[in-house]
Amino acid sequence: MKNTAQIAVIGGSGLYKIEELKEKKELAIKTPFGETSDRLIWGRISGAPVCFVPRHGRSHTILPTEIPHQANMWALKSLGVKTVVSVSAVGSLKRELAPSHFVFPDQFVDETKLRKATFFGDGAVAHVPMAKPFCMAFSEYMYKEAKKLGIKSHFGGVYCCMEGPGFSTKAESEYHRKMGYSIIGMTVATEAKVAREAGLHYAPVSLVTDYDCWKEGEEVDQAKVLETLHRNIENIKRLLVKVLPVLVKVRCAEGCENLIKTSLLTSRDHMPAQALKRLKLIIG
Which residues are known to be catalytic?
A: 210, 212
The torsion angles phi and psi of 109, rounded to 5 degrees, stand at -120, 130
Query: Beta partners for 88?
Result: 206
Q: How many CB atoms lie within 10 A of CB 279?
A: 24
Three-class DSSP labels, the chain = CCCCCCEEEEECCCCCCCCCEEEEEEECCCECCECCCCCEEEEEECCEEEEEEECCCCCCCCCHHHCCHHHHHHHHHHCCCCEEEEEEEEEECCCCCCCCCEEECCEEEECCCCCCCCCCCCCCCECCCCCCCCCHHHHHHHHHHHHHCCCCEEECCEEEECCCCCCCCHHHHHHHHHCCCCEEECCHHHHHHHHHHCCCEEEEEEEEEECCCCCCCCCCCHHHHHHHHHHHHHHHHHHHHHHCCCHHHCCCCCCHHHHHHHHECCCHHHCCHHHHHHHHHHHC
Distance CA 39, CA 154 (A): 32
